[in-house]
Structure 1
Amino acid sequence: MSTIQAEKIADPWPIINRSNEPVIEIMNLKKSFDMEPVLVDVSINLYNGENLVILGKSGSGKSVLIKCIVRLLNPDGGTIHVFGEEVGQLGNAGLSELRKKIGFLFQSGALYDSMTVRQNLEFPLRRIKKGLTEKEISEKVIEVLENVGLADALNKMPSQLSGGMRKRISLARTVVVDPMIMLYDEPTTGLDPVTSDEISELINDVQQKYKTSSIIITHDIECARATADRIIMLKDGEVYTEGTIEDFEKSTDPLIKSFFK
């Protein structure tokens, strides 16, 4: 048992209603590359309405974990249930339907460079929200751009945007289809401190406005402080410990202290 677990008081879930069913349930997940283990028997739950931060150093398996959730990578063992469905047992049609409920914000943002901001946001709407009128599509695009503070970027190309603006547009494109779960892969990487704070604030805004449940992969302590309802730390592909931000900040564990200098 890690230091933080030893320090914690009787209830290890101080902010989660334990009667809630998990929206994501990961059990005994394993993944290796070229015989090198990246995830080792990882078990994690994401509960309805929470922002769960997965913290850890580079190479600890954080990004691999969320790619397994949407089956961008296939795990070597264990199970992942999302809304009660076992992801590994879904066929192509079932997996496609499940992915419509999950927003994935990639580190790079993954905008289409040949499309305007408007076109980038319209593209997933036309694919996923079939049946919307042109007016409804336009209104939805403008709504999400206003929510990320970039309504004036509607007709710009990605090349005309700063790194922080690209990240905001990527977030707008992710939420435009009303996902129920958000997966954020290092959302503040490469951003200056002020812009990083703005992205963290947007993550909280998305949680409130869209009632999402989110997993936030990061090694950015300030992002974790700003967004986390609960934190799980990975070390060498395993769950090292979990707790609230307050638990982590008061811990005497040397590894945890190295993050919270």
Structure 2
Amino acid sequence: MKNENPHTENVVEVRNLYKGFGDMQVLDDLSFELRRGENLVILGKSGTGKSVTIKCIVRLLTADSGSINVLGHDVNQLKEKELNEIRQKIGFLFQSGALYDSMTVRQNLEFPLRRIKKDLSETEIEAKVKEALENVGLPEAIDKMPSELSGGMRKRISLARTIIVDPEIMLYDEPTTGLDPVTSHEISLLINDIQQKYKTSSIVITHDIECARTTANRMIMLKEGRVYKEGKPQEFEQTDDELINSYFQSQNVKNLKTT
């Protein structure tokens, strides 16, 4: 569980968001905010709209209605050039990691730098690559291919590639999925390290209760596409709410089965 977060400025504000697919209403009047410097964990059963929400924040999906304000800009109203400028300030760690299999680790990390930080010299690019790898604990992997890495290592390299462009906001989509409990805990601690070193504001989508406990300054639980409960981690742990207790118990059982 994280320390108290003193910051109150909102870097993301989601208001009255609706998103459906055909006859299925996934987000139904969803509202919440991400505060500067905090890790916000979003919990909820599959199909409650967690991943859809963060995809709407970067407009990989377009909301049907409502507003999403990111760093002072309504992303639903931005033209493509302005949207890309905002996206460059947001790091998105996908479940799969999404490394380029045909590139070495070095090339995977150089790629976003050359695209976004176009004024950097070759010496500066080299330094940034080494710094990012040091920060995820894998400096020795610099010339390896993704196929030579374990699942946990691939996740770390994906995280290095995300932070190398100095994002203000991080979006983590199930960062510990498919990892063993020890590696999952290492990734959770790394999320906290990134928060401290890069001063990021982060949304963490997870089913992993231990990840949530380790990383969260604040939690929200979604039910049927809207916020069911919001609070500090201890408020979720010390509640009489049957839905929340059953959710935590079911996820704890799943975690035990994987150990």
TM-score interval for Structure 1 and Structure 2 normalised by the shorter chain: over 0.9
Select 1:29's aligned residue among 17, 41, 49.
17
C-alpha offsets along residues 14-41 of structure 1, whole Å, 9 cap, x if unaligned? 94557x3210000000000112100000
C-alpha offsets along residues 57-99 of structure 1, whole Å, 9 cap, x if unaligned? 1111000000000000000010000111000111010001000
**CA shift for structure 1 position 252:** 1.3
Report the equivalent of 2:146: 158
C-alpha offsets along residues 154-207 of structure 1, whole Å, 9 cap, x if unaligned? 011111111000000000000000000000000000000000000000000000
**CA shift for structure 1 position 260:** 2.4
AA paired with 1:219?
H
CA distance in 1, matches of 2:107, 2:134: 16
Select 1:211's aligned residue among 184, 191, 199.
199
C-alpha offsets along residues 179-238 of structure 1, whole Å, 9 cap, x if unaligned? 000000000000000000000000000000000000000111000000000000001111
Match status 1:201 vs 2:201: no
AA paired with 1:134?
E
Select 1:49's aligned residue among 37, 49, 66.
37
Report the equivalent of 1:127: 115
AA paired with 1:71?
R
Select 1:82's aligned residue among 67, 70, 88.
70
List runs of 5+ in structure 1 lacking aligned partners: 1-13
Select 1:226's aligned residue among 214, 220, 226.
214
List runs of 5+ in structure 2 lacking aligned partners: 250-259
* Kept after mapping to 1: 8 A contact 2:5/2:37: no
Report the equivalent of 2:240: 252
Report the equivalent of 1:59: 47
Match status 1:184 vs 2:172: yes
CA distance in 1, matches of 2:155, 2:4: 29
Report the equivalent of 1:3: none
4+ runs deviating over 4 angstroms: 14-18
SS of corresponding position for 2:112: helix
Report the equivalent of 2:254: none
SS of corresponding position for 2:100: coil
* Kept after mapping to 1: 8 A contact 2:152/2:183: yes
**CA shift for structure 1 position 258:** 1.5
* Kept after mapping to 1: 8 A contact 2:26/2:48: yes
More moved, 97-106 vs 249-258: 249-258
- How many residue pairs end up in the alignment? 247
* RMSD (CA atoms): 1.1
CA distance in 2, matches of 1:206, 1:259: 28
Equivalent pairs: percent with the same residue? 69
Report the equivalent of 1:10: none
> How does the TM-score come out when normalised to structure 1?
0.93
Report the equivalent of 2:79: 91
